[in-house]
Amino acid sequence: MIKKRVFSGIQPTGQIHLGNYLGAVKNWVDSQDEYENIFCVVNSHAITTTQNPKELRKNTYELAAMLLACGIDMKKSNLFIQSEIDEHPALSWILDCNVSMGEMNRMTQFKDKSAKNPKNVNAGLFNYPVLMAADILLYQADGVPVGEDQKQHLELTRNIAERFNRDFGECFKIPEPMIFKSGSRVMGLDDPTSKMSKSAKGANHAIFLLDTPDVISRKIKKATTDSQTSIVFDKNREGLYNLLGIYEIFTHKTKEVIEQEFEGKGYGEFKSALAEVIIESLKPIREEYEKLVSEKGYIEKILQAGATQVRPIAKSTYNRAKELIGLV
C-alpha cells in the first residue's frame, strides 16, 4: 500500500524545548513507519527576524543534529535544509502573485509578530504564509501536522492550491491538516496559561532537550501548581494539569493509573517523579546529539543526501506550475 506523504518544517531559532518535542517532533518520529515523511529545517523563514549569519548557520546544523538525535531515521524519512532547494522561493513568487492582499491581511500571526517586533515589520514577515504554502505544495503533501497556531496558514495553503488548480490547471495536491492529540499543547512551567515558547524570558519557563539533570530538576521543582493537595487531572488547575499531561506522555500510563499512583501524596513527590522520568527520557537524546555534533561533516552529508532525494519532486512541481502560469 502506498504511504501518504507528510511534510513538516521547523525553524532553527533557539533550542528545541519540551513543547516542541512532545507537541511535534516525537509525533514525527513515532509516525515514520506509517507515512512517507519529508522534514525540513526552514531556515529561510527564520530570516523574517534579524539573524546573525554565523549563528543562523550554526543553529541550522545543530537543529538537524537534534532532530536526528530524537529519532528521525534517514532510512524512513528525508531531512533537508529549505534554502538548499531553490524551488521554494521560486514557487513562492508565483503564489504571491495569485494571493490577494485581503487574504494576507487576515493572517493573525502577522499581527501578533508585528506587535512583538514593531521595529522589524518586513515584507518577508507579511509573506511568510505564502512561503509556507510553497514549502508544502512543492512536495505534493497529503498531510501536514499543524498546531492550533498554524491552522489558519494551512487553510490559506489549501485555498491557494484549489484556486491555482481551478484557474490554471491541475498542479497541486490539496493537503489535509493532521492534528496529533498527544502533547499537542505543552504550557509554560512558570505560566500554565501560555504555550511553552523559545522566546519567553523566564528562566524556569521551558525545559530544553539539552538541559542538564540538575537544571531539569530545578525547573520542575519551581513549576507553578496551586494551593490544593490532591493530584488529579483537573483542567481548571492549569499548572498541575500541564505537569500531569507531561508525565502521562512520558510514562504512557493512563490518567486513572497516575491518579492512583499519587493518591495521598504531595506535590514534592509528584514533581520528583516527573523530573526523574523527564531526565531518563531525554538522556539518550542528549547523548546521541553530543555524538552526532562531534562527527565533523556527518550532518552536512546527511542533509545533502536528503536534499538530493527530494529535489526532483520540487523541480517537477515547480516546472509544472511555471508552465501552467505561462513562464515557459
Annotated catalytic sites, by residue?
113, 195, 198
Query: What is the rounded distance in angstroms from the CA atom of residue 25 to the CA atom of residue 249?
Result: 13
Q: Are 175 and 144 within 8 A, CB to CB?
A: yes
Q: Are 90 and 96 within 8 A, CB to CB?
A: no
Query: What is the rounded distance in angstroms from the CA atom of residue 92 to the CA atom of residue 74?
Result: 27
Query: What is the rounded distance in angstroms from the CA atom of residue 219 to the CA atom of residue 224?
Result: 10
Alpha carbon 279 to its chain's center: 22
Grid cell in block for residue 87: 524551488
Locus of grid cell 500531569:
244
Query: What is the rounded distance in angstroms from the CA atom of residue 239 to the CA atom of residue 29?
Result: 27
